[in-house]
Amino acid sequence: MADLSKVGTEYPPITWEIERGKIREFAKAIGDFDPIYQDKEAAIKAGYEDTPAPPTFLTVPMMWCDKMPAVINDLKINFMMVLHGEEEYEYYRQMYPGDVITGTPKVTRMEEKTSKSGAKMDMVTLEVLYTNQKGEKVAKARSLLVERK
Amino acid sequence: MAEELYFEDVNVGDAVPELVKGPLQKLQHVMYAGASGDFNPLHTDDDFAKAVGMKDGVIAHGMLIMGFVGQAVAAWIPKKNLKKFGVRFAGMTKPGNTITVTGTVTDKRVEDGDNIIAGTVAAKDENGDVKVTGKFEASLPSRS
């Protein structure tokens, strides 16, 4: 059961280097063969500086950074009972190969809800605002985790 | 690749071109696990999935389905113009499902000098069961 007193907690930053190969691999795994993700020249022709990260790419630093288990533990969430309820992004700038992004995960909202069927759930909202190596804001990711009780 | 899209050429009620994905294969779950770093065995190991109550075995990563929706949106609206994209996960997707992504432009406005369009999106399977609903917002260039 989530510890609802943890709202407002910030966790150690995620730092992640955006790699050309990972952009290509991620797009291919989705089955998105848009050449802007595969080929720098095609991306430049389409108005980008290089192959941009696809729209849902920010899940990569979140899942590969190895920091989420500690966050889940600290929030006292039973991982086996967690559903991903919502995911939302705001984009401020493109992310390109070689960029190094940093973001601090923050718990912005925690509340208990009761579903129509009467089941109780804890709703946990986690936000990460990422900046790049120049200190420019690149994107904000917001995830809603639902813990069934 | 999305062609340049101009504010003047988009209207409320316009459809996001439909995207059909699948039938989904378990192999894609493995590829997505490796690419995204989400190695929850619920998506790749039938024995594990059955042990935690999925009678037919593995289910797709919700984020993979969001990825399909992002593909559909960015195939029409150039990714560089996309400002917001969010989804709610509404149902589980299984191997064999064919996912169709649809969407509609619901709003068009000028805000602080930006030409904004906004819309809703949904991903459904071959039976019409909703997997994901969502919304997007983009800032488009003007022809003038």
The whole-number pLDDT of residue A149 equals 80
Torsion of CA B102, A82, B37, B29, to 10 degrees: -50
Across the interface, of A22, A30, A91, the residue whose CB is closest to B71 is: A30
Question: pLDDT digit string (tens) for A121-137?
Answer: 999 999 999 999 999 99
Amino acid at B143: R
In a domain, A112, yes or no: yes
State pLDDT tens for residues B63-81.
Answer: 999 999 999 999 999 999 9
Q: Which token pair is A132?
A: 């790049």
A27 domain-assigned: no
Contact B124, B98 (CB under 8 A): no
Backbone angles phi, psi at B7, to 5 degrees: -55, -40
Q: What dihedral do alpha carbons A19, A94, B36, A42 form, nearest 10°?
A: -70
Render pLDDT for B95-129 as a digit per residue (tens, 0 to 9). Answer: 999 999 999 999 999 999 999 999 999 999 999 99
Nearest CA among B49, B31, B56, B132 for reference residue A80: B49
Cβ partners under 8 Å of residue B21, min gap 6: A31, B68, B71, B98, B99, B100, B101
* CB-based contact B36 A59, cutoff 8 Å: yes
* Domain assignment of residue A11, yes or no: yes
State the pTM of this model.
0.96
CATH number for the domain harbouring residue A121: 3.10.129.10
Q: Cβ of A56 under 8 Å from any chain B Cβ?
A: yes
How many CB atoms sit inside 10 A of residue B18's CB?
10
* Window B:55-84, CB contacts with A under 8 Å: 62-64, 66-68, 70-71, 73-75, 78-80, 82-84
Q: Which comes out higher in pLDDT, residue A68 or A103?
A: A103
Residue B107 has what DSSP assignment?
A: E
In whole angstroms, give the CA distance from residue A142 to residue A133: 21
CB contact under 8 A, B1 and A28: no
Rounded Cα–Cα distance for residues B132 and A85 (Å): 10
Average pLDDT over every residue of A83-96: 97
Q: Does B133 touch chain A (CB under 8 A)?
A: no
Which residue is listed with tokens 């316009």?
B14
- B/e letters for B79-91, b = 16+ CB within 10 Å, e = fewer, are bbbbbbbbbbbbb
As for the ipTM of the complex, it is: 0.96
Sign of CA dihedral B94, B100, B105, B111: positive
> Which residues share a beta bridge with A106?
A10, A127
**Closest chain A residue to B68 measured between Cα atoms?**
A30
Confidence of residue B49 (pLDDT cuts 50, 70, 90): very high
> Is residue B28 scored above 90 in pLDDT?
yes
Sorting pLDDT into bands at 50, 70 and 90, what band is B144? confident
> What are the φ/ψ torsions at residue A126 (nearest 5 degrees)?
-120, 130
Q: Are B101 and B121 in contact (CB under 8 A)?
A: yes
Task: Tell me what pLDDT residue B43 has.
Answer: 95
- Domain extent, residue A77, equals 4-19+52-148
Domains of chain B: 7-140 (3.10.129.10)
Contact indicator for B65, B99 with CB cutoff of 8 Å: yes
Strand order through the sheet with A14-17: A14-17, A100-114, A120-131, A137-148, A82-91, B82-89, B130-140, B114-124, B99-111, B15-21
Question: Exposed, middle or buried, B119 (CB in 10 Å: 0-12/13-18/19+)?
Answer: buried
